Structure 1
Amino acid sequence: MKSVCLALIIVSIFAVSIQTTYSQRVYANFEEDSYTILLANVINPSFASDPDLTNYSRLQVNVGLIGSIGTARQNLQFTGTLKPEPTAPIMIRFRYGGALLGLSNVFNVQRTDGGLNQTEGDIYTGSTLLGLLGLDEAEDSGEVIVPIPATSVPTDGVQIRLSALIGIGPFAELFYAFFITPPTVEFTTVYVCQGESALISISNFQSGYTYRVYDALTEGNLIYSGTTDVLSIPEEDLTTGTYYLEAVEGGTAFTSSRTAFDIVIYPKPGYPEIDLNVNEN
């Protein structure tokens, strides 16, 4: 009995740790799917959008008449109040087999807006997905979390598509999709006296994340990086203008979209000139 209780405690601590570590993730909560009847299938489709992060749906092409083409699609959508910004990457976790990522025309991923087949932005195939992962070549099977880059238009989901000749045998198992909640800045305009540091307060701060300040909405120059709820940026690194804050998940390269805020720097007042004329009465 003691060992069972200990195991339950360990599991509970692990679950709390995971929740804390990934507390700024927003997971896709709705799925749609389609497939070629008899030639392909999507098994357990709801598993990719339910609260259990350990189970998965499976897209597969069925064994059958060689030369026929089967297609399976699944779209994961964010239907809550908070949706990914156009500049936010969407991360998907999936497992693959049958040298899937080495077959450029078999598997692709694309962002969507409004549901299944409502695709937006670039299509990422096997070879371009390898590029996003920083890999030169794919293993026959594996499990990855890959960030699908932002688009220039709003999106609220991501779709994966598997299309192959019967008999080739690739499959994809989709665990979940998520994006990182962007930081909320307590004051959108921060006033700084020359020579003092700018204090940037993060209202939705979470431990386990690094917060980085840039001088552009995308790309740009890194100005400051910190892991506290109040970032203290030296004034000498700043000029009056607009800056952008993003959250980065600890131990990963998963980033949020960036939140804009303004910094206004006031120069120190000069010393007054005093003209003393000792000869005046």
Structure 2
Amino acid sequence: MEHGCNYIGYSGGRLKAVFSVILLQDERLKRLREMQMFRFGYYVIGIIMLVIPEGMYAQCISRSRTYASFQGVYRTGLGALGKPVFGGSITHAENAVNKDPENASTLTVNLGLAGLASVTQFLEFTTDGTHANKRLIAANTPVTVKMSLPVSALDLLGGIEIGTFTNLTSVSESWPWLPGSGNYSGYNSGNKTVAYTGTSLASVLNGAGEAEITFTPAQAYNGVYIKLSGNALSVALSASIFHAYILEDNPDPVSCGEAIDVLSGVKAGAVAIANATGSVTNPWNAVDADPSNTTFALLSTGAQVLSKVYETVLFSNSSQPGDSVRIVLQDPGASLLDLSLLTGFTIQPYLGNTAVGPPLDKNSIGLNLRLLAGAGNKYVLAAPVTGAFDRVEIAMGGITNALSGLRIYNVKRVIPDPVTGINGVVATAKAICEGASVALSVTGTQSCTTYSWYDAETGGNLLATTTTYNPGILTSGTHIFYVQAQRQNCTDAVSVRTPVTITVDPLPAVALAANPEVCSGATAATISYTGESGSPVTYSISWDPAAQAAGLNAVNEAVLTAGDIDIIIPPETPSGSYSGILTVKNAAGCTSPGQPFTITVNPRPTSPHISLATN
């Protein structure tokens, strides 16, 4: 499948790979993935927290999530007399494969089941949601699992295991007659590869809540599994499993501005995680695209402001450098809000798990806070990001005097409005003279972005799709053109149209009367004119070589008097005809076309010879 763009890159690490043709067939896609993995320091077996591989690709190429669509469960426990006594449990198992990132299954091993019970959920990739049509995912294809752990589970990570599997098969229920271990009916695989256990998971988790775990299996696989066991535990353990996905090419446009997923929770900050009191209530309300901005997510540090709460908003793909994050927010404890009051509030853009620049806070250059029109004390916070990003983490707390609560009504990503140039100079308006041409352009263009010119602020006629536009010779008057940016392969990343105003001033003109004639020795000639138009204020005269040789001097922007133009003639000017070009100019700087005229210097008649006759 070929796309019109020729950029593949990962700019978060200042590293890009550029190809002239994008033809991602199976083998080339595998080689590209292998190159991406090793060039960015990933290991075949390793755990990366908060990684979305779509950050490796520019928005020119649509890459979307393909979710695991079949699930199976394997539960073990203690049995006796051929029946189960207790075992691991799961609720809402289908939520892990319903493609809704807000829903999750819950795996639980209850209190007192140390070493006696486990529950494993298998998430399998298929073509149609049935186990019969499972897919074999190529080795070195990154896979991501979204899961959530409560605070109480962070010290019990030894009971968690995540990995890949093949050959999932159904199993029958089996319980011993004498007390011993057994299993419920379900699905199990004898070919599992562990990606990490609780020990390695602990090295990447620094808080409680939702998190994404991405790893790159070295072998082909049908899906991923998550296992909770009661080994060495004397307390209950639970985990929520939202989904598993890989990234694949998508020929269809996708939403680039709206979020596709949310992660939220609490981090230890300056206190132990067990003492953290923060919470995020209704996190999905921040990305529900409510046009009235009435629903919100509430970030609260609780009594312990030294802990940190976070909400991470994930987008479908990577932005372009210069895109912004736009947040509608409100301080529930104050009627007014300004940047100086946003103590402990930060915005951290990421590309995958790589931070894009330092966190943006109240002191960051370019951060803009304005009151949302007609919405009471709600504000719009706009934060331009210099690098490409695919998610933003909004965090609060961690220091004294931090905000105790903040409402987040909406988070979205926006592309910048075009910055326009006129004749190569950054500008949004220019006056020109009638008959002159003008070149309109977009400066600071972004990759993977189309620029379209229109004749109306909304709707209207499409004039051109290009970064430069020449409207041709315009008639006198005011002409407004509009340019709009749109990200390629995106359904919603469209900028506000930037207006460019061109004012065409009419050319001045005068209608000359008959060419003047003077007698030799005269010192001035008068050119009369009528029919003044275009408000001329000055005139200029240039002479032909004969006139110049006769001593007639050029005139440069002399004040134009009403009705007549006086021309100085040297008294010694020889008789003859002398040609000149007259132009007039108005206050706008527009000059008329040259009008030829002729001044004729006639010779005086010879003095008569008078003879007196005498008689």
* TM-score, length basis structure 2: 0.25
More strand by share: 2
Matched, 1:149 2:202: no
Point out the more displaced range, 111-120 or 51-60: 111-120
Change (3 A) 1:251 1:166: closer
Count of aligned residue pairs for this structure pair: 171
Counterpart mapping for 1:201-240 below 5 A:
209-210=317-318
For residue 159 of structure 1, give the secondary structure of its aligned residue in structure 2: strand
Match of 1:199 in 2: none
Match of 1:110 in 2: 163
For residue 209 of structure 1, give the secondary structure of its aligned residue in structure 2: coil
Point out the more displaced range, 116-125 or 154-163: 116-125
More helix by share: 1
Kindly state the Cα deviation for residue 110 of structure 1 after the two structures are TM-superposed.
0.7
Q: What code does the residue aligned with 2:196 have?
A: Y
Match of 1:264 in 2: none
Counterpart mapping for 1:119-268 below 5 A:
119-131=191-203, 133=204, 135=205, 138-139=206-207, 141-151=208-218, 153-164=219-230, 167-181=234-248, 209-210=317-318, 250-251=390-391
1:100-143: CA deviation from partner (whole Å, max 9, x where unpaired) = 35435310101112323244444301232244x4x5xx44x321
Kindly state the Cα deviation for residue 154 of structure 1 after the two structures are TM-superposed.
1.0
* TM-score, length basis structure 1: 0.51
Unaligned runs of 5+ in 2: 1-58, 78-85, 128-133, 169-187, 257-315, 320-387, 393-615
Kindly state the Cα deviation for residue 82 of structure 1 after the two structures are TM-superposed.
6.4
Match of 2:92 in 1: 44
Kindly state the Cα deviation for residue 179 of structure 1 after the two structures are TM-superposed.
0.5
1:71-92: CA deviation from partner (whole Å, max 9, x where unpaired) = 0100000012865321111100
Match of 1:24 in 2: 64
Between the two proteins, what is the percent identity of the paired residues?
A: 20
Counterpart mapping for 1:55-70 below 5 A:
55-63=103-111, 65=112, 67=114, 69-70=116-117
Change (3 A) 1:99 1:85: farther
Change (3 A) 1:69 1:47: same
Match of 1:219 in 2: none
Change (3 A) 1:98 1:84: same
Kindly state the Cα deviation for residue 157 of structure 1 after the two structures are TM-superposed.
0.2
Change (3 A) 1:22 1:57: farther
Kindly state the Cα deviation for residue 54 of structure 1 after the two structures are TM-superposed.
1.4
Counterpart mapping for 1:266-281 below 5 A:
none
For residue 36 of structure 1, give the secondary structure of its aligned residue in structure 2: strand
Q: Distance in 2 between matches of 1:52 and 1:209?
A: 18
Structure number with greater Rg is 2
Unaligned runs of 5+ in 1: 1-19, 184-202, 212-247, 253-281
Structure with greater contact order relative to length (CA < 8 Å, sep ≥ 6): 1
Change (3 A) 1:112 1:98: same
Kindly state the Cα deviation for residue 44 of structure 1 after the two structures are TM-superposed.
1.4
For residue 196 of structure 2, give the secondary structure of its aligned residue in structure 1: strand
Q: Distance in 2 between matches of 1:156 and 1:94?
A: 19
Matched, 1:53 2:101: yes
Question: Quick check: 2:156–2:233 contact (8 Å CA) kept in 1?
Answer: no
For residue 175 of structure 1, give the secondary structure of its aligned residue in structure 2: strand
For residue 86 of structure 1, give the secondary structure of its aligned residue in structure 2: coil
